[in-house]
Amino acid sequence: MKINIVIALLVLFVSCKGNSQNKEKATSTKTNDNKEFAVQKTNSEWKKELTDAEYYVLREAATENPFTSQLLKNKEKGTYVCAACSTPLFKSSTKFDSGTGWPSFYEEIEGNVAYDVDYKIGYKRTEEHCATCGGHLGHVFEDGPNPTGLRHCINGVALNFVPAE
Ligand SMILES: [Zn+2]
């Protein structure tokens, strides 16, 4: 019995390490293919327009390394827009320091962010993406501050910052 558990854990560990990239690609491709977005481009078109890092996060649902985003410590007033299609996604007034290493917001700009459920790392998470182009942004968790109690954990590379006038 114990051996079975050990083997099961090993399999789980190996599959998380080994296949996570493939699974992410398969899931994101499937997700985006099934939906119609106002901005639709082929993968090769996106590849030309986006940097490598933007492409892997926005189009292949990769996750940037924590504490690497230049926007993480940004406290200026303004709007965070989609790095792919410039749709306004988050206001600076809803940004907070979550300590996770990713830019975090307690509220999205309503209607501009869409949601999906994924099980990529073994448990249910709510994935979020740009409602205009389908670009992957990050995940939303229910451990955020008031007034919403939500934590939108966003890849900084998926965002551009537009300072307020
Ligand atoms: Zn977009």
Q: What are the residues whose beta carbons fall under 8 Å from the beta carbon of 118, sequence distance 6 or more?
A: 27, 124, 125, 126, 127
Catalytic residue flag (residue 153): yes
Structure tokens at 76: 């200026």
Distance 134 CA to ligand 1 centre (A): 6
Distance 84 CA to ligand 1 centre (A): 5
Q: DSSP assignment of the chain, as one string?
A: -HHHHHHHHHHHHHHHHHHHHHHHHHHHHHHHHTS--SS---HHHHHHHS-HHHHHHHTT---PPTT--TTTT---SEEEEETTT--EEEEGGGEE--SSSS-EES---TTSEEEEEE-TTSS-EEEEEETTT--EEEEEES---TTT--EEEE-GGGEEEEE--
Residue 62 region by backbone torsions, left for phi larger than 0, else alpha for psi between -120 and 50, else beta:
beta
Distance 144 CA to ligand 1 centre (A): 24
State residue 41's pLDDT score: 96
pLDDT digit string (tens) for the chain, length 165 residues: 555 555 454 444 443 333 444 444 444 444 445 578 999 999 999 999 999 999 999 999 999 999 999 999 999 999 999 999 999 999 999 999 999 999 999 999 999 999 999 888 888 999 999 999 999 999 999 999 999 999 999 999 999 999 998
State residue 165's pLDDT score: 85
Distance 113 CA to ligand 1 centre (A): 9
Domains of the chain: 23-163 (2.170.150.20)
State residue 118's pLDDT score: 87
Distance 22 CA to ligand 1 centre (A): 23
State residue 10's pLDDT score: 46
